[in-house]
Amino acid sequence: MKKHITYTTNGVCSRQIDLDIENDIIVGAKYTGGCSGNTQGVAALVIGMEINEAISRLSGIKCGMKNTSCPDQLAKALEQYKSEKENL
């Protein structure tokens, strides 16, 4: 079953990430705001990726002097999804 999630980002230029997940595979990803080329690139790269793999690859990436980045925020969105799924 496909699940759509919307995540409001913190500490980055993008404002929101929309993800579609089916059987723990990312089947859709779109950023709102942020550096267009970078966010489109990250979104395209995670399509078809299992959520744990995406978290592993993206978690902890920083943008300049910030403590986070658009890829790191995507990892946080997936971690939140996993946490909410486990609590059902």
* Three-state SS letters, the chain: CEEEEEEECCCCCEEEEEEEEECCEEEEEEEEECCHHHHHHHHHHHCCCEHHHHHHHHCCCCCCCCCCCHHHHHHHHHHHHHHHHHCC
pLDDT computed for residue 87 by the predictor: 86
Structural domains in the chain? 2-86 (3.90.1010.10)
Record the pTM: 0.96
pLDDT computed for residue 88 by the predictor: 76
The residues of the chain scoring below 70 in pLDDT are none
